[in-house]
């Protein structure tokens, strides 16, 4: 597991995180690979991981019986996938599928949640980082909803 | 600023009865004469042949949203100020063809719309309106691209200005440094003097061609007393002007107050009717419309006065940038008094007061500026 | 003949600014369902020199005139290329034009993108929707003088995959190792396998030297506003960010008053503005 530490340390999401916290997090980390087309998670499943994407491209989508799969966002290397593990009831709201060969580090949500509860300093540090991501997604979603290239804006 | 320019031409005194000779000299010089006349109960500008057509013995009463012509107790030729029309209509006509296109076998050809322009004297133009012409010169022929329509007409104009000796109720030229005396830009400037049964004009040439015309008019050498009383008459007029705009840092002041609540207040009163922009002697916004004749063989592009008070003025695909009256009034006033400095190096306002007189709801630009200045908001509202 | 040729090459006669030069439609290409590109040439082949970012007023006989930015290669002054979205009366009529039809051209007008100032810098181009068209001459210029610039990045956002302009060219550019091209769409349709999400999401991941980077941004005003925020987050200075403004334009020569943007005329002072000069204006409503 030690081998994952430098990889995590260099990922934009965890950049600058205190080494002692990194050590705690590494305990919950594992290397994962998804083939093109493979589902990473599906709507309604337990959200027991989040993913630090090292390589590849992932599509977050939902499904309409009439329209089929509808893409919401794509994620790629340097980004983080998933935050449902952080909020009850810890279930995925959307599907995530690898569009191409994707390598990521999976962080065990249950494991991490207990560590964040034990050490609130780590909890606060990680929450700040997730808040940034959530805010960024919210802004991006608002812009998407504005349909800025359409006729009405 | 309110005195006639000092120059080499000797000032002369013309008896009011001899004013006709000045008109004759202009006519003999090949000039058509546009001058103030009474039409439909107002003093407008139209072609005249003789001094008898001038509104001698008339004055105008002007207030917010108010205009009446009245008899004077004397026979002054220029005992009134400015009416609903300004001289821009001659140089920048309300509607002009700018281009004609004709169909040819496999396409079309274009040509400048043909028009003949004859030499014209602007007789009786007031200092504020003269300043307005100088401002329009900068806008339409003073930069890289020159409007050929304006240029052609402007070249044919001879200016006989008349200093103001009796301001109107809405005048504030003193604030805009454009009157009541003409400083420059005239061929001839007259100052009317009525005193103890004497009715004379002090006449001063500003150019050689003005001088040549004056030489054809019977006159006597102006005494120093006459010069003094002409100057006093203009100074007296300046003192009578009650409206004012504080122009100190006005550009910065207005830019900083784009979100001032006063814009909302004035928008409630403003009908967005565009009267102020149509009577304004410097407003130059124009639209271009396209017409084809019934056969489709010729197409004409016509330039027409537009106004920033219309929704279409700021229309881009999908909607109008300035959809509220608040934004449109702000645009007009801020452009006129602030942005104009950045764009053309001077204010766009000459203090003629027309926008106050002809506003159907009596909005007073001087009052709006004062209100914004007095309640200047330093911290910008979010 | 020589004088005519010279005259046209210089663009408009400054003392006859209402008089268009006549160009013939040489080719029309459909770009997307609502956009098309036409190539215009003069019968004598003189054409018209322009700088990236400039626009022309295009006139169709009897219908009207509209401002359209030039989307072609500035090296090729013989051909004027315009990419047009058919949304109004004039542009819809333009779509009906055929090879050989005449178009009146007044221009080129406006201040160009700062391709000279950008020499020796990294350049990030952020385009949204039809905003890629006025930036394409910049791309041509940068690639033609590749050695004069550092990293070159293009972030392009479109509404849907069907709205993507210049698709083939984008593929060609993306294949170059010296040009980082990222395309994203707001909404995915069909078999799109590319990025989905607004264009601003691409900026945090781009690699450039923030102190030595010039950004050129063109798209809807909201998109440009948020793009600027992302660029500032990446430590670009306001002085190094350039935006393109849009207002109603009827004359192109600063005479008609329509395109005022605060104290600026978009036609003469823009359409390309330095953000540090206009940050206040871009934040004000209904200005």
C12-35 residue pLDDT tens? 889 999 999 999 999 999 999 999
In the 8-state DSSP scheme, what is residue B10?
Answer: P
Mean of the pLDDT values across residues B164-171?
95
Whether residues C128 and C104 fall in one domain = no
Are the Cβ atoms of C187 and A139 closer than 8 angstroms? no
Residue C3 pLDDT greater than 60, yes or no: no
The reply to whether C103 and C74 lie within a common domain is yes
- The DSSP code for C211 is G
How large is the average pLDDT for residues B133-150? 96
Q: Is the dihedral of CA B114, B279, B158, B186 positive or negative?
A: negative
Looking at beta carbons, which residues of chain A come within 8 Å of B318?
A: 151-153
Averaged pLDDT for residues C109-137: 97
First-to-last CA distance in chain C?
46
- Residue A98 confidence (pLDDT) above 50: yes
- The chain B residue lying nearest C101, using CA atoms, is B107
First-to-last alpha carbon distance for chain A, in angstroms, is 50
Angle B144-B335-B302 from CA coordinates, rounded to 5°:
55
Q: Distance, in angstroms, between A28 CA and closest chain B CA?
A: 45
Asked whether C230 and C142 are in contact (CB, 8 A), the reply is no
State how far the Cα of B338 lies from the Cα of B346, in Å rounded to an integer: 9
In sequence order, which residues have a C-beta less than 8 Å from that of residue C45 and are 6 or more positions away?
C78
| pLDDT tens string B187-205 | 999 999 998 889 999 999 9
Q: How confident is the model at residue B382 (pLDDT cuts 50, 70, 90)?
A: very low
C220: chain A residues, CB-CB within 8 Å: 148-149, 153
Q: Does one domain contain both C227 and C141?
A: yes
Q: Of C109, C141, C161, which one is at a domain's C-terminal end?
A: C109
Region of A90 please: left (phi>0), alpha (psi -120 to 50) or beta: left
What sign does the CA torsion over B69, B72, B77, B82 have? negative
Q: Neighbouring chains of A at 3+ CB pairs within 8 Å?
A: B, C
Cβ within 8 Å, pair B317-A151: yes
**Averaged pLDDT score across all residues of chain A:** 92
**How is residue C41 written in tokens?**
């040439």
CA distances from A30 to B69, B235, B311 (A): 93, 92, 61
Does residue C84 or residue B4 have the better pLDDT?
A: C84
Residues C32 and C87 placed together within one structural domain of the fold: yes
Question: Residue B195: exposed, middle, or buried by beta-carbon count in 10 A (0-12, 13-18, 19+)?
Answer: exposed
pLDDT in tens, C31-64: 999 999 999 999 888 889 999 999 999 999 999 9
Q: What angle, 0 to 180 degrees and rounded to 10, lies between the N-to-C axes of helices B262-269 and B365-374?
A: 160
Under the banding of pLDDT at 50, 70 and 90, the label for residue B379 is very low
Q: What is the pLDDT of residue B211?
A: 97
Same domain, C203 and C157: yes
* Three-class DSSP labels, A58-122: EEEEEEECCCEEEEEEEEECCCEECCHHHCCCCECCCEEEECCCEEEEEEEHHHHHHHHHHCHHH
- Whether residue C197 lies inside any domain: the answer is yes
The count of domains in chain C is: 2
Residue A147 lies in a domain: no
Could you tell me the pTM of the whole model?
0.92
Buried b (16+ CB within 10 A) or exposed e, B37-76: bbeeebbebeebeebebbbbebbbebeebebebeebeeeb
Domain CATH for A24: 2.60.120.10
Mean pLDDT, range B58-73, rounded to an integer: 97
C83 in the same domain as C159:
no
pLDDT of B289 above 60? yes
Strand partners, B158: B121
Q: Which residues of C touch A (CB under 8 A)?
A: 87, 128-130, 157-159, 163, 184, 186-188, 192-198, 200-201, 204-205, 219-220, 222-223, 226
Domain limits for position C278: 122-283
Q: Quick one: pLDDT band at residue B278, thresholds 50, 70, 90? A: very high
Taking all residues of chain B, what is their mean pLDDT, rounded to a whole number?
94
Q: Which domain holds residue A16?
A: 4-142
The C-alpha atoms of residue B197 and residue B204 are separated, in whole angstroms, by: 22
> CA C150 to CA C148: how far, in whole Å?
7
In a domain? residue C117: no
Model confidence at B121, pLDDT cuts 50, 70, 90, reads very high
- The 3-state DSSP class for residue C252 equals coil
Q: What is the mean pLDDT of residues A112-131?
A: 94
| Boundary-marking domain end, from C109, C133, C166 | C109
Q: Which of B4-8, B115-119, B258-262 has the weakest average pLDDT?
A: B4-8
What is the chain A residue with the closest CA to C195? A74
Q: What is the pLDDT of residue B197?
A: 86
Query: Which pLDDT score is estimated for B170?
Result: 98
Residue C115 in domain: no
Q: How far apart are CA C86 and CA B285, in angstroms?
A: 27
Residue A84 lies in a domain: yes
**Is 80 exceeded by the pLDDT of residue C1?**
no
Asked if residue C277 has pLDDT above 70, the reply is yes
Number of domains chain A is built from: 1
% of chain C beyond a pLDDT of 90: 90
Domain end among C109, C144, C169: C109
Measured distance CA(C267)–CA(C282) in Å, rounded: 16
């Amino acid at each position: 597991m030690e081998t994952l530490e430098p990889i995590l340390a260099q990922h934009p999401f965890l950049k600058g995180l205190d080494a002692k916290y990194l050590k705690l997090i590494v305990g919950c980390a594992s290397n994962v690979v998804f083939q093109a087309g493979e589902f990473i998670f599906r709507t309604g499943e337990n959200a027991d991981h989040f993913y630090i994407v090292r390589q590849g491209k992932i599509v977050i989508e939902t499904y309409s019986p009439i329209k089929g799969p509808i893409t919401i966002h794509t994620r790629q290397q340097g980004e983080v996938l998933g935050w449902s593990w952080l909020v009850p009831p810890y279930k995925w709201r959307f599907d995530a599928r690898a569009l191409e060969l994707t390598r990521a580090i999976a962080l065990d949500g249950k494991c991490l949640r207990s560590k964040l509860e034990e050490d609130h300093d780590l909890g606060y540090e990680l929450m700040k980082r997730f808040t940034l991501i959530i805010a960024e997604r919210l802004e991006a979603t608002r812009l998407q909803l504005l349909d800025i290239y359409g006729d009405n804006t | 600023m309110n005195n006639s320019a000092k120059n080499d031409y000797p000032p002369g005194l013309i008896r009011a009865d001899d004013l006709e000779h000045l008109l004759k000299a202009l006519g003999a010089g090949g000039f058509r004469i546009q001058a103030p006349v009474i039409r439909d109960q107002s003093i407008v500008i139209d072609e005249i042949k003789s001094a008898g057509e001038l509104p001698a013995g008339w004055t105008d009463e002007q207030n917010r949203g108010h205009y009446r012509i009245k008899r004077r107790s004397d026979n002054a030729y220029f005992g009134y100020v400015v009416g609903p029309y300004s001289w821009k209509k001659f140089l920048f006509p309300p509607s002009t063809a700018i281009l004609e296109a004709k169909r040819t076998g496999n396409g079309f050809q274009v040509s400048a719309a043909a028009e003949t322009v004859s030499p014209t004297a602007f007789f009786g133009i007031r200092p504020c309106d003269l300043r307005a012409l100088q401002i329009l010169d900068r806008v339409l022929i003073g930069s890289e691209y020159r409007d050929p329509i304006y240029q052609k007409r402007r070249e044919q104009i001879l200016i006989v200005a008349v200093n103001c000796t009796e301001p109107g109720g809405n005048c504030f030229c003193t604030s805009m440094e454009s009157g009541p005396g003409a400083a420059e830009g005239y061929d001839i400037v007259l100052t009317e003097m009525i005193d103890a049964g004497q009715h004379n004009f002090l006449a001063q040439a500003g150019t050689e061609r003005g001088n040549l015309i004056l030489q054809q008019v019977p006159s006597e050498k102006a005494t120093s007393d006459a010069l003094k009383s002409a100057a006093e008459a203009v100074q007296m007029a300046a003192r009578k002007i009650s409206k004012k705009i504080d122009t100190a840092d006005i550009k910065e002041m207005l830019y900083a107050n784009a979100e001032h609540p006063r814009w909302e207040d004035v928008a409630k009163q403003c009908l967005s009717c565009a009267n102020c922009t149509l009577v304004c002697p410097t407003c130059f916004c124009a639209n271009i419309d396209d017409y084809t004749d019934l056969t489709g063989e010729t197409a004409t592009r016509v330039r027409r006065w537009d106004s920033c008070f219309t929704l279409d003025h700021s229309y881009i695909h999908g909607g109008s940038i300035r959809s509220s009256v608040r934004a449109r009034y702000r645009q007009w006033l801020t452009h006129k008094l602030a942005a104009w400095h950045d764009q053309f190096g001077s204010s766009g306002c000459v203090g003629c007061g027309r926008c106050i007189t002809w506003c159907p709801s009596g909005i007073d630009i001087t009052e709006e500026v004062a209100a914004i200045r007095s309640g200047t908001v330093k911290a910008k509202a979010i | 003949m020589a004088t005519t040729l010279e005259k046209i090459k210089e663009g408009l006669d400054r003392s006859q600014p209402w008089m268009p030069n006549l160009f013939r439609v040489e080719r029309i290409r459909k770009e997307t369902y609502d956009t098309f590109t036409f190539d215009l040439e003069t019968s004598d082949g003189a054409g018209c020199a322009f700088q990236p970012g400039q626009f022309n007023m295009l006139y169709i006989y009897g219908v009207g005139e509209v401002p359209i930015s030039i989307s072609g290669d500035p090296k090729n002054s013989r051909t004027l290329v315009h990419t047009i979205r058919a949304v109004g009366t004039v542009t819809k009529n333009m779509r009906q034009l055929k090879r050989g039809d005449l178009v009146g051209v007044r221009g080129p007008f406006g201040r160009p993108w700062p391709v000279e100032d950008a020499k020796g810098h990294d350049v990030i181009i952020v385009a949204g929707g039809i905003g890629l068209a006025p930036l394409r001459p910049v791309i041509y210029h940068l690639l033609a003088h590749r050695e004069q610039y550092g990293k070159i990045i293009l972030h392009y956002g479109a509404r849907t995959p069907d709205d993507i302009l210049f698709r083939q060219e984008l593929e060609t550019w993306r294949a170059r190792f010296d040009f980082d091209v990222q395309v994203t769409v707001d909404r995915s349709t069909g078999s799109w396998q590319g990025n989905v999400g607004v264009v601003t999401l691409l900026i945090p991941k781009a690699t450039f030297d923030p102190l030595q980077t010039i950004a050129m941004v063109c798209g809807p005003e909201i998109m440009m506003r948020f793009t600027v925020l992302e660029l500032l987050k990446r430590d670009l200075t306001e002085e190094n960010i350039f935006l393109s403004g849009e207002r109603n334009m009827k004359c192109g020569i600063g005479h008609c008053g329509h395109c005022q943007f605060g104290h600026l005329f978009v036609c003469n002072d823009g359409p390309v503005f330095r953000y540090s000069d206009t940050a206040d204006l871009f934040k004000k409503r209904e200005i």
